[in-house]
Structure 1
């Protein structure tokens, strides 16, 4: 038996045969062409077909994993239309070079530029550029990759997996992912978590076809990858797997139960979603409400701004489906790694700290008013609350409330009913934490976004693989900030929740409740797990 260690993405166990996906780079040679126009047309046809494939992948990922996970394919479509990328390809074709060679050379050129940038967001685009370039070459050369066709359930082992490769695999036949490269915050890692599939990244081993078809064990709890284990080890892990399945079965018995500790302390457990189709998962997992509806995915899934009516219909359907349970909808949080080409946002050195979220909305009030109008119209059909992201000042809240008053007045003029809408803000920056006492007086609730708060506080890009050992969401500074926000919110008589990934961290659940958090919002699959943890606590001890 050989044992290797990697970084775990999803804590579960898988036992089965290995399927090695070893990418063999096809050598693309330059060929001289005579008809430049025809070659350009051949490329255009391939580009159109690539767009269709990416849209199909987007739809597949949306249905299976939700809009949040599918958004990467919107990024790929934007890169496919990037004018600099296209100009480089056309210039090469004009030198009478075949389209395949022009595409692969262009992809390598831009991937090299991106990988050498200091900005970690742009570094990640290197893999995306190579992904779309390889897609175009496969279309141009009429090549089909049969590696995605799985005959039986297997453990996928690869050097790395692109989001496209991950989504194309039949998830019913994927027992686990094991990659030699990749980070715990990569797109593929996010997809694996959403698919509830055990996954390890950064496994220190050599990729060889000799391990193909061998039996292996992936232990997502310890990060161990065991190849050709002995019968006793297999037997032990099978028992652990059975215990794991039994725990999942017992969690189902918690549906309909209250989120209350042994000593009587209550807390709301809500769910985070990205689109209308995710509501089913919220209801299946018996969440008390929706703590974060990421409305930006209504914008990312299209090529033009969604209209007031289109947005209204989505918000209305979510509110009605939840049947009176609270639905907290975050206003547009576009920017940073969530880009839509029709917004015409300039490229930035550091987009995570740039033109994004509420800054765009206040800079483009008509865009903001359209969304607010749709939200307040929908509020008449359920229990809708509105939450504003990336707030750093009292002045921003005052500007928002002025626009809200205008929207309400216009709706009254149109004789349109509106509900009693709670309005809150996300606490995502150290600045917001430090003045949370002032901010709390201006709104109905505070919700802590721990993902951005952690990276801004620690000055660490959470997607930078080199800094993973430094990225510590349990850092004492983060926990003190959360406690400070809770205290300031309660002093102002407002409730305080948490909607970042840290909310699903069972190690901190008891500490969060002792801090006084009123609500924890997590991905739907974690709702019952958090409820189980809460119901076993006794805060008097």
Structure 2
């Protein structure tokens, strides 16, 4: 039996509910941009100028990400990218970079060293909140590193509906996943409480994280996958019976969601006939957030956060 004919099941951690059935698309983006220029060929002032140019470009990119996130997510979830922008202004981080440049390092070397140093401190605290911050920090770090190397932060997307497979996805990569082409994603790294998992739930993308490394070593782009975000299972090359069973599950889930959405448009009434107004909490997401609230059955605004 060839590899393509073997059905295999991999257990991970359920991160975002839902079932997806589609071919795999292996996603990879170089984690560390090539070093340029060579240390000693430029002056510290030139390196400071290169760094500032990259920071300004990264800030503009992150602001665009934030705007896109506000169109697709709640203000609370979109605020992840405000944190990313704050990292670019973090005095402790920038002081460490400046120290490296003053000692003769290139901006790329000093930046990478400072990012890894700060991320290691966050990870050493053994707290899921700070671990998520370390992922965010490295996400920002890679963005600036690529800009310093003159490389693009453009992300390769599949050209047909697919399930993304990766060692890890960052928040900035996740928010850019096109809903019409990405059915869900499975990663080796990540946790249920990570910002990537939060974004997946907000985007309505089924997701499984914490998959074994063997999964990434086995799957290839184009292999058929079933991704069960409810159970945290990914099935590679499912047989016809398994495909049929999961297609039925997916159809039933779609029916439940449609029924729930239709019911949300109906007036809320208690069993004893008392009418209750359903109001939404809005967080500054603008007109788009208000539209989403109305689509989900909101009749008004209960709380509007303006901070």
TM-score (normalizing by structure 1): 0.51
Task: Give the equivalent residue in structure 1 for 2:22.
Answer: 16
User: Residues 326-341 of structure 1 correspond to what in structure 2 (within 5 A)?
Assistant: none
In the alignment, structure 2 segments of 5+ residues that lack a partner are: 1-6
Task: Give the equivalent residue in structure 2 for 1:250.
Answer: 259
Contact 1:8 1:199 in 2 (8 A): yes
Which of 180, 183, 188 is equivalent to 1:172?
180
* 1:429-487 deviation line (CA, Å, top 9, x unaligned): xxxxxxxxxxxxxxxxxxxxxxxxxxxxxxxxxxxxxxxxxxxxxxxxxxxxxxxxxxx
Task: Give the equivalent residue in structure 2 for 1:73.
Answer: 81
**Alpha carbons of structure 1 residues 155 and 120: separation in structure 2 relative to 1, 3 Å:** closer
Which of 242, 245, 249 is equivalent to 1:240?
249
Task: Give the equivalent residue in structure 2 for 1:56.
Answer: 64
**Alpha carbons of structure 1 residues 150 and 85: separation in structure 2 relative to 1, 3 Å:** same
Contact 1:4 1:205 in 2 (8 A): no
Contact 1:33 1:97 in 2 (8 A): no
Separation in 1, partners of 2:292, 2:31: 40
Secondary structure of the residue aligned to 1:211 is coil
TM-score (normalizing by structure 2): 0.86
Separation in 1, partners of 2:33, 2:49: 23
In the alignment, structure 1 segments of 5+ residues that lack a partner are: 300-541
* 1:405-452 deviation line (CA, Å, top 9, x unaligned): xxxxxxxxxxxxxxxxxxxxxxxxxxxxxxxxxxxxxxxxxxxxxxxx
* 1:365-401 deviation line (CA, Å, top 9, x unaligned): xxxxxxxxxxxxxxxxxxxxxxxxxxxxxxxxxxxxx
User: Residues 174-189 of structure 1 correspond to what in structure 2 (within 5 A)?
Assistant: 174-189=182-197
Give the superposition deviation at 1:18.
0.9
Task: Give the equivalent residue in structure 2 for 1:214.
Answer: 223
Separation in 1, partners of 2:191, 2:110: 31
User: Residues 79-478 of structure 1 correspond to what in structure 2 (within 5 A)?
Assistant: 79-117=87-125, 120-145=128-153, 147-206=155-214, 207-208=216-217, 210-254=219-263, 256-260=265-269, 269-275=278-284, 276-277=286-287, 278-293=289-304, 295=305, 298-299=306-307
Say which one has the larger Rg: 1
Q: Which consecutive segments of 4 or more residues in structure 1 shift more than 4 A?
A: 27-30, 261-269
Secondary structure of the residue aligned to 1:248 is helix
**Alpha carbons of structure 1 residues 256 and 21: separation in structure 2 relative to 1, 3 Å:** closer
Give the superposition deviation at 1:62.
0.8
Secondary structure of the residue aligned to 1:148 is coil
Contact 2:278 2:297 in 1 (8 A): no
Secondary structure of the residue aligned to 1:213 is coil
Separation in 1, partners of 2:180, 2:66: 18
Give the superposition deviation at 1:71.
0.6
Separation in 2, partners of 1:252, 1:83: 46
Separation in 2, partners of 1:248, 1:119: 34
Separation in 2, partners of 1:292, 1:154: 38
Size of the alignment, in residue pairs? 296
